Amino acid sequence: MNADLERLIALQKLDTAARDAEQRLADEPERLKALDAQLEAARQLAATTKQHLADNQHARRAIEKDVAVQQGRLSKFRDQAMAVKTNQEYHAIQHEMAFAQGEIKNLEDRILELMVDADELTAVAKRAEASLTTDQKSIDAEKRALVVEQEELKGRLERLGAERATLVAAIDPHMLALFELVSRRRHGVAVAEARDGICTICHVRLRPQVFNTIRRNEEILQCDTCQRILYFVPQPVPDVTQSAGSENVHH
Ligand SMILES: [Zn+2]
C-alpha cells in the first residue's frame, strides 16, 4: 500500500477516535443533569407520598375530634332527657340525639375509609422511600463512573493528540493539506473505504477504472462526489480446504 495512503487512513482513525471522545466529553454535563433530574424526581415522589400519608392522619385526627364533640353532645342530651317535663321536650331531645348518633356514624364511616386509605398510602410511601434509596445508590455510582470516564477520555484525547503529532510529522505536507481541507469540508471525515465499486460514505458509484485503481491502494485518489480520499480493503480469500469438508455446501 502507498505509505502516505496508509498514514492518512491511520490519521483518520485517530481523528475519528478523538471526535468520539470529544463528543462523549461534551455530552457529560447533559448526562449528569439527567441523573440529577432522576434523583430529584425520586425525592419528589417520596416527599409527595409521605405528605399524602400525613394528610390522611391529620384528617383522621380532625374527624376523631368531631366524634368526641358529637359524643359530648349526646351525653349532654341523655342527661337532659332524664330531666324533661313534657312529651314535646322529650321528642325534641330524642330528635337531637338521633341526629348526633347519625353524625357519629357518618364520621366513623369516614374514619374507616381513611384507615383503609392509610394502609395503601403507607405501602406507597414505603415503596417510594425504598426506590429513593436504591436510586440514590445507583445514581451516586453512575456519577462516580462519569467522573472516572471523564478522566479516561481526557487521557485518551491527550494520547491521541500525541500520536497524531507523530503521525502528521511523517506525512507528505501536500497530502496532509489535502486531508485537512477535505476533513474541514466533510465534518471531520476525509478518508473513505471504497467497496463494491461504491464510496461507502457518500454511496455514489465510482467509475470502474477509478475503482480498479483504488483496489491497488497505490495512489491517493478522491471520490468525485464527496472528495474523500479512497482506499480499498481486500476481502479475505476464502479457505477452500476448510469449506470443502464442511456440511451444507451442496444443496
Ligand atoms: Zn464519496
The Å distance, Cα 24 to ligand 1 centre, comes to 27
Provide the grid cell at 250.
451442496
Residues around the ion ligand 1 (C-beta < 5 A):
199, 202, 223, 225-226
Provide the grid cell at 168.
502528521
CA 1 to chain centre: 44
The Å distance, Cα 186 to ligand 1 centre, comes to 10
β-strand partners of 30: none
Q: What's the pLDDT band for 245 if we cut at 50, 70, 90?
A: very low
118 CB-near residues (< 8 Å, 6+ apart): 53, 56, 57, 60
pTM of the prediction?
A: 0.71
- Tens digits of residue pLDDT in 200-223: 999 999 999 999 999 999 999 999
β-strand partners of 198: 195, 205
d(CA 92, CA 100) in angstroms, rounded, equals 13
The Å distance, Cα 250 to ligand 1 centre, comes to 39
Using CA atoms, how far residue 114 sits from 56, 135, 172, in Å, is 6, 30, 83
Q: Report the pLDDT value the prediction gives residue 138, as an integer from 0 to 100.
A: 97
- Tens digits of residue pLDDT in 14-65: 999 999 999 999 999 999 999 999 999 999 999 999 999 999 999 999 999 9
The Å distance, Cα 116 to ligand 1 centre, comes to 70
CA 27, 184, 167 angle in degrees (round to 5)? 90
Half-sphere exposure of residue 157, counting CA atoms within 13 Å on the CB side?
Answer: 14
Q: What's phi and psi for 105, nearest 5 deg?
A: -60, -50
The Å distance, Cα 201 to ligand 1 centre, comes to 6
Residue 235 or residue 181, greater confidence: 181
The Å distance, Cα 192 to ligand 1 centre, comes to 7
